[in-house]
Structure 1
């Protein structure tokens, strides 16, 4: 007889409205409903089609653009990219919103970003070093204004990949897009705890050590700093898993519980 006290404690967060729009448009692009070079419905049409606010639509479009699937053009609309990332494009199509997927993404990032940091330390030119530093300080400026930092966080890591002068490092990161950055509101793994100012200040401390190592031209130190940064991110996700189990209440749908409003970088 099965133990009646045994329960499944896998708890998943209900996708945000913007994530549902992103998934729908992704599917339609993959199916050829929206062909490369074609224009998506207008913002007004998308709000009516999905029954959501303009803010939600803009968040969805920002996520699609970050993943390289669409390109907003000032005054013309949003267009499906003619040459989206294809070699690694399927990575970003089925990421989903499970913490297990986030851990898988971090494992991939560790496999490429630790070495990319080391290569950047010895291969970067002055312009590439400046780009890394500019992304670092832009993160600081956005954080001070309580604005979303995910895009700049991604740009920091992407600038390091570009400084390897090996385009495949950049291509993999572009395939993952800013959805790999949990402190952004467009990430499917962003939570109240990952959107706090304190959390993001901790990220900046880790970013600073990476920046200093690359600027010093020290590849071993750069690799170690990146390893420390991504390992800390893994540990934060494991804590979230343990927290979900600890907060589980039998018979209550935890995925339906609304997330509180807030915090640094969060806006609806």
Structure 2
């Protein structure tokens, strides 16, 4: 007997995908720019004629794709521009936790080597750029404006320091979608948990820079591997916490 409920069950997902694409197109057209604040959930519901469930699903997809960042008590802000239509890492394709974890595995295959090459090849000027990006990251969102963007810049400067233009191009192309921090942030309930989480990540970034600055290739690779592996673990744990509090 056919499952007559299946089309109805899939409708919110299709509506969310369509809403993501409408926002993505507005970003491509320049109607929405980096740093712009999105309307409230209630306003989006009214303007787009969709339910709160659809709006939240669409925002979750855009957060997972690194296009937006929600700052609790403040609002949701544009972080990055979407990839061209049809690209396999477009915002509508990074939907589930497994998609974000796959991205982290992809980063492991690239950035561990990039850190080693940066330790070996970085010019004094490139090293200074990495250090400047690290300082912006350690200063926090009050100074950098967006922790996610500052995080991405740190990793991008390491790719630049590697001297490999393919690495640089792919990092630029993927943009802040590489950084799963937005999805992780939403799972932290208490400010103390968030502070501990940020302190741990900052220490890992410092270790990466120290190894690169000391020209220790193996240590730089190991520090980057540890950081990205820990990011996978943190993401899984954060997702579990979020699911628990949503029950």
Which TM-score tier does this pair reach, normalised by the shorter chain?
Answer: 0.5 to 0.7
Q: Which residue of 1 aligns with 2:218?
A: 220
Q: Which residue of 2 aligns with 1:263?
A: none
Q: Which residue of 2 aligns with 1:112?
A: 110
Q: Which residue of 1 aligns with 2:31?
A: 40
What TM-score do the two structures reach when normalised by structure 2?
Answer: 0.65
1:52-201 equivalence runs, <5 A: 59=76, 61-64=78-81, 89-143=87-141, 148-183=146-181, 187-193=182-188, 196-201=194-199
| 1:87-128 alpha-carbon deviations (Å, 9 max, x no partner) | x95324444242111101100000000000000111111111
SS in 2 for 1:193: coil
Q: Is the 8 A contact 1:106 1:230 kept in 2?
A: yes
Q: Is the 8 A contact 2:184 2:235 kept in 1?
A: no
| 1:196-221 alpha-carbon deviations (Å, 9 max, x no partner) | 22211111100011000000111100
Choose between structure 1 and 2 for higher RCO, CA contacts under 8 A separated by at least 6 residues: 1
CA distance in 2, matches of 1:226, 1:41: 34
What runs of 5+ residues in structure 2 fail to find an aligned partner?
A: 1-11, 49-68
Q: Which residue of 1 aligns with 2:65?
A: none
Q: Is the 8 A contact 1:143 1:197 kept in 2?
A: no
Taking a change above 3 Å as real, the CA distance of residues 161 and 144 of structure 1, as seen in their structure-2 partners, is: same
Taking a change above 3 Å as real, the CA distance of residues 92 and 216 of structure 1, as seen in their structure-2 partners, is: farther
Q: Is the 8 A contact 1:116 1:169 kept in 2?
A: yes
Structure holding more helix per residue: 2
| 1:32-86 alpha-carbon deviations (Å, 9 max, x no partner) | xx6xxx6537999x9699549xx98x9554332xx5x5xxxxxxxxxxxxxx7x9
Q: Which residue of 2 aligns with 1:74?
A: none
CA distance in 2, matches of 1:189, 1:242: 10
**Count of paired positions:** 201
| 1:151-208 alpha-carbon deviations (Å, 9 max, x no partner) | 111100000011111111122222322132233xxx3554242982221111110001
What runs of 5+ residues in structure 1 fail to find an aligned partner?
A: 1-13, 70-83, 249-253, 258-268
SS in 1 for 2:88: helix
| 1:202-248 alpha-carbon deviations (Å, 9 max, x no partner) | 11100011000000111100000000101111111222344456x28
CA distance in 2, matches of 1:229, 1:41: 33
Taking a change above 3 Å as real, the CA distance of residues 93 and 168 of structure 1, as seen in their structure-2 partners, is: farther
Q: Is the 8 A contact 1:99 1:189 kept in 2?
A: no
What TM-score do the two structures reach when normalised by structure 1?
Answer: 0.61
